[in-house]
């Protein structure tokens, strides 16, 4: 079943997700770090570390949002990072950030849809996505296009929420995600749905082996899942 942010609206998932992120874009960075107690920064760093041996020069960051994963990828000293997102609001916040950090000559943020990437086949050394794939309207199509634009031998790194399985982390996480996070998120973002959609979309997302099966089915090889912080999030890595 498709999880939608605004259940009473006629729009499809992609339009609703773009609307939602436009709506929360100004408060997104603050809420991200506040609600995760800053752990999201550590998760992005861990995911980027996996690309170090590959020394990728041209990187595509899909669902880049305000560009935090692209900024983390600067540790790899790439020539170019292109970030794409369907939310112009998120990109606008990101572009201001890149200017301020003087990264705008290396990191280029563009409007773009993961399911219809406007790049030729075999272009990128690495394709990265953090907390994006869960929001795709068509996950398989998004992963297929990611594979298409990756060079043979290139690497895809995907960071996404998952669910802790063991006591007491599972119970603490469920309570926080279900009761605390939606209230704080709603109060600060002023969006009625975004932080209720977050736990619902995580719950519905095919994680672990279920994700790896879809990942492999579009062509990725040597794929692996690496859980982080009691399984609250996971890194998926695969090669073309």
* Known binding positions for S-adenosyl-L-methionine: 66, 85, 113-114, 130
Point out which span in 48-56, 57-65, 99-107, 206-214 binds ligand SAM (CB under 6 A). Answer: 57-65
Total residues contacting ligand SAM by CB under 6 A comes to: 24
85 counts as binding ligand SAM under rule CB under 6 A:
yes
Does residue 145 touch ligand SAM according to CB under 6 A? no
End-to-end CA distance of the chain: give it in Å, rounded: 30
87 binds ligand SAM (CB under 6 A): yes
Q: Which is nearer to ligand SAM, 35 or 86 (CB)?
A: 86
- Distance separating alpha carbons of residues 8 and 22, to the nearest angstrom: 19
d(CA 162, CA 208): 8
The span from the CA of 128 to the CA of 64, in Å, is 9
CA atoms of 50 and 155, how far apart (whole Å): 10
Helices 181-189 and 13-35, packing angle to 10 deg: 100
Give the span between the Cα atoms of 120 and 136, in whole angstroms: 21
Could you say whether residue 21 binds ligand SAM (CB under 6 A)? yes
| Residue 135 sits in the site that holds ligand SAM (CB under 6 A) | yes
Least distance from ligand SAM to the Cβ atom of residue 18, Å? 6
Q: Closest distance between ligand SAM and the C-beta of residue 158, in Å?
A: 10
């Amino acid at each position: 079943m498709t999880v939608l942010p605004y259940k009473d609206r006629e729009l499809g998932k992609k339009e609703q997700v773009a609307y939602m992120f436009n709506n929360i874009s100004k408060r997104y960075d603050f809420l991200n770090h506040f609600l995760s107690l800053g752990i999201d920064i550590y998760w992005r760093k861990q995911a980027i570390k996996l690309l170090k041996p590959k020394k990728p020069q041209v990187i595509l960051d899909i669902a880049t949002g305000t560009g935090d994963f692209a900024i983390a990828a600067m540790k790899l000293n790439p020539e170019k990072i292109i970030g794409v997102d369907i939310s112009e609001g998120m990109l606008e916040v990101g572009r201001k950030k890149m200017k301020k950090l003087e990264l705008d000559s290396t990191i280029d943020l563009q409007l773009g849809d993961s399911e219809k990437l406007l790049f030729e086949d075999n272009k990128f050394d690495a394709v990265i996505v953090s907390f994006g794939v869960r929001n795709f309207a068509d996950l398989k199509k998004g992963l297929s296009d990611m594979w298409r634009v990756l060079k043979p031998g290139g690497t895809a790194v995907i960071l996404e929420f998952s669910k802790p399985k063991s006591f007491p982390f599972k119970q603490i996480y469920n309570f926080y995600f279900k009761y605390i996070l939606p209230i704080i998120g709603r109060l600060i973002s002023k969006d009625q749905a975004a932080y209720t959609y977050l736990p619902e979309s995580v719950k519905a997302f095919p994680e672990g082996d279920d994700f790896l099966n879809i990942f492999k089915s579009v062509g990725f090889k040597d794929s692996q899942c690496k859980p982080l912080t009691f399984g609250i999030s996971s890194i998926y890595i695969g090669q073309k």
